């Protein structure tokens, strides 16, 4: 541990992005302080500051690899603690109602709830001797030099009775406060202006419940069952075995559609999925929680790399920089990739904001294009569709169809969706040949059973489903 860059770095926000940033900062600073408004230590269930923690989270394969690199033995530790793991290509994946051919990829899926995954990462970070957590404290603002050219700390207010606002000094401050980050406002107040924002409105909902199965054999040994939403079958779900022998189910709806939270409506929505697998399992399972809903309006990308000026000693990462439509499962893995980018910058000296934000923008480009491109395959999603997007979406539909017949295509697709390889891997001539040979849309995929009209949203009723399929 060199600790050559400074006495203290502060990380604003102690969720996944903040914890991973703290992990790499600990290699270069004498002290790293993480500040969060929630109680963190020992917490393994959803908390107020991370409401999405109640919904199924998949850690992409690249994310698992980075966690293993930053915390050697992470995966075996998770398994030993009762978190199920499996091969990503062997999960029960469906696109447009058709099942992908299972394929052994060697890519590991760690099937933990979001709070449990975070608690394992947090335990490893908190064990570092030079990292400390300030819990139950609001981040009120940042402090700067008189001329506002450099950030020199943060203002925080602990929740403990009688506390007053205090200032923490630091040579480097990282904003990892998530989608609700105040950095655009702070920059504006300091005279730097707000960053441009790219937004793509998808209006997706997650409605989730936890279950215990009377008999796990109904899963046929599968770790998860994922009918992924597509324009042809816009209702989707993620159903996973999780820790403690439980299962978690998130039902997804796009463009305003949403599963009801009452038990009967929830079950009916599950019945309207393009495949019966999940409905048939949960109708006899014991619910352990009420259904909760999370509505996510739009993917948001803040273009900090485009600002003409940026204060020194201050960086933004994680959802604070870019928040993706969650259905693609990218957020935590992008945060992990950004932590590696930060580490690379730290090896060269005190990170310089412009260069860092340029570099994480390059990290964000591919997952952003994948997520936004996928969203734009829904005709109702607003946004420009240049030729690249139209060709890309037509090809991805063929990849999905080909993967229902050819396990090699499943394997290649999982490597790209898992962010282990770039999308160009699907364009290699031998792969294109397989995709074109096997990529005729499946005739046998059943129509989603939305006839009971359980969707609460105005935009994706049964007629829209059929129209989208016919298109």
Ligand X SMILES: Cc1cc2nc3c(=O)[nH]c(=O)nc-3n(C[C@H](O)[C@H](O)[C@H](O)COP(=O)(O)OP(=O)(O)OC[C@H]3O[C@@H](n4cnc5c(N)ncnc54)[C@H](O)[C@@H]3O)c2cc1C
Q: Does 37 bind ligand X (CB under 6 A)?
A: yes
Q: Does 17 bind ligand X (CB under 6 A)?
A: yes
CB of 439 to ligand X, least distance (A): 27
Q: Does 120 bind ligand X (CB under 6 A)?
A: no
- The interaxial angle of helices 61-70 and 16-25, nearest 10 deg, is 40
Closer residue to ligand X, CB minimum distance, 83 or 402? 83
* Residue 210 parent element (H or E): strand 196-212
Half-sphere exposure of 374 (CA within 13 A, CB side): 23
Closer residue to ligand X, CB minimum distance, 11 or 401? 11
Q: Does 257 bind ligand X (CB under 6 A)?
A: no
**Secondary structure (H, E, C), 97-159:** CEECCCCCCCCEEECCCHHHHHHHHHHHHHCCCCEEEECCEEEEEEEECCCCCEEEEEEEEEC
- SS3 state at 86: strand
Q: Does 414 bind ligand X (CB under 6 A)?
A: no
Q: Does 62 bind ligand X (CB under 6 A)?
A: no
Closer residue to ligand X, CB minimum distance, 28 or 323? 323
With b for 16 or more beta-carbon neighbours within 10 A and e for fewer, the 119-150 pattern comes to bbbbebbbeeebbebbbebebebbebeeeeee
The stretch near ligand X (CB under 6 A) out of 9-17, 185-193, 195-203, 364-372 is 9-17
Spatial CA neighbour of 267 closest among 452, 445, 97, 113: 452
Closer residue to ligand X, CB minimum distance, 180 or 349? 180
Q: Does 52 bind ligand X (CB under 6 A)?
A: yes
Q: Does 122 bind ligand X (CB under 6 A)?
A: no
Query: Looking at the chain, how many residues does it have?
Result: 471
Residue 321 near residue 360 (C-beta atoms within 8 A): yes
Q: Does 110 bind ligand X (CB under 6 A)?
A: no
CB of 217 to ligand X, least distance (A): 27
- Rounded Cα distance between 37 and 50, Å, is 11
The stretch near ligand X (CB under 6 A) out of 35-43, 356-364, 405-413, 426-434 is 35-43
Q: Does 97 bind ligand X (CB under 6 A)?
A: no
- Rounded Cα distance between 247 and 241, Å, is 4
- The interaxial angle of helices 114-126 and 16-25, nearest 10 deg, is 20
- Rounded Cα distance between 388 and 197, Å, is 22
The stretch near ligand X (CB under 6 A) out of 161-169, 322-330, 414-422, 433-441 is 322-330
Adjacent-strand bridge partners of 300:
199, 323
Q: Give the chain's largest Cα–Cα span.
A: 70
The stretch near ligand X (CB under 6 A) out of 89-97, 170-178, 418-426, 458-466 is 170-178
Q: Which of 8, 18, 211, 438 binds ligand X (CB under 6 A)?
A: 18
Total site size for ligand X, rule CB under 6 A: 35
CB of 94 to ligand X, least distance (A): 17
Q: Does 113 bind ligand X (CB under 6 A)?
A: no
CA distances from 16 to 80, 88, 341, 347 (A): 21, 21, 15, 22
* Residue 51 parent element (H or E): none
Binders of ligand X in range 323-352 (CB under 6 A): 326, 329-333, 335
Closer residue to ligand X, CB minimum distance, 16 or 228? 16
Q: Does 15 bind ligand X (CB under 6 A)?
A: yes
Q: Does 96 bind ligand X (CB under 6 A)?
A: no
Q: Does 258 bind ligand X (CB under 6 A)?
A: no
Closer residue to ligand X, CB minimum distance, 19 or 445? 19
Q: Does 177 bind ligand X (CB under 6 A)?
A: yes
**Contact residues for ligand X (CB under 6 A)?**
13-18, 36-38, 49-50, 52, 55, 57-58, 138-139, 176-180, 206, 294, 296, 318-320, 326, 329-333, 335
């Amino acid at each position: 541990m060199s600790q050559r860059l400074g006495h203290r770095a502060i990380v604003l926000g102690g969720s996944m992005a903040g914890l991973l940033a703290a992990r790499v900062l600990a290699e270069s600073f004498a002290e790293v302080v993480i500040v969060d408004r929630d109680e963190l230590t020992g917490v393994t269930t959803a908390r107020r500051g991370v409401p999405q923690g109640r919904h199924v989270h998949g850690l992409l394969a690249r994310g698992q690899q980075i966690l293993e690199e930053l915390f050697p033995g992470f995966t075996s530790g998770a398994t030993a603690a009762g978190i199920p793991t499996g091969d990503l290509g062997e999960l029960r994946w469906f696109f447009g109602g058709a099942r992908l051919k299972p394929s052994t990829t060697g890519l590991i899926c760690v099937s933990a709830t979001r709070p449990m995954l975070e608690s394992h990462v947090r335990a490893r970070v908190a064990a570092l001797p030079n990292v400390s957590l300030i819990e139950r404290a609001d981040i009120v603002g940042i402090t700067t030099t008189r001329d506002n050219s450099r950030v020199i700390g943060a203002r925080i207010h602990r929740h403990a009775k009688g506390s007053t606002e205090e200032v923490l000094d630091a040579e480097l401050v990282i904003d990892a406060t998530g989608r609700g980050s105040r950095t655009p406002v702070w920059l504006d107040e300091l005279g730097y202006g707000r960053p441009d924002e790219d937004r793509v409105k998808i209006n997706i909902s997650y409605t989730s419940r936890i279950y215990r199965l009377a008999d796990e054999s109904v899963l046929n040994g599968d770790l998860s069952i994922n009918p992924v939403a597509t324009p042809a079958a816009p209702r989707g779900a993620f159903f996973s075995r999780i820790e403690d022998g439980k299962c978690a189910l998130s039902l997804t709806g796009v463009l305003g559609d949403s599963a009801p939270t009452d038990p009967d409506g929830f079950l009916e929505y599950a019945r309207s999925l393009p495949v019966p697998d999940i409905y048939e399992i949960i109708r006899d399972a014991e619910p352990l929680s009420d259904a909760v809903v999370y509505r996510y309006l739009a993917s948001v990308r803040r273009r900090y790399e485009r600002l003409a000026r940026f204060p020194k000693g201050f960086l933004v990462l994680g959802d604070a920089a870019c928040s993706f439509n969650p259905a693609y499962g990218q957020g935590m893995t992008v945060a992990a990739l950004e932590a590696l980018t930060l580490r690379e910058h730290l090896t060269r000296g005190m990170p310089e904001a412009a260069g860092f934000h340029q570099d994480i923008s390059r990290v964000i480009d591919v997952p952003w294009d994948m997520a936004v491109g996928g969203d734009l395959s829904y005709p109702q999603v607003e946004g420009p569709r240049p030729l690249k997007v139209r060709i890309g979406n037509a090809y991805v539909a063929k990849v999905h169809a080909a993967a229902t017949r050819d396990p090699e295509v499943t394997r290649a697709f999982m490597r790209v969706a898992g962010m282990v390889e770039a999308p160009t891997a699907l364009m290699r001539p031998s792969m294109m040949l397989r995709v074109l040979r096997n990529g005729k849309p499946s005739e046998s995929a059943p129509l989603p059973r939305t006839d009971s009209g359980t969707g609460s949203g105005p935009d994706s009723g049964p007629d829209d489903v059929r129209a989208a399929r016919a298109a």
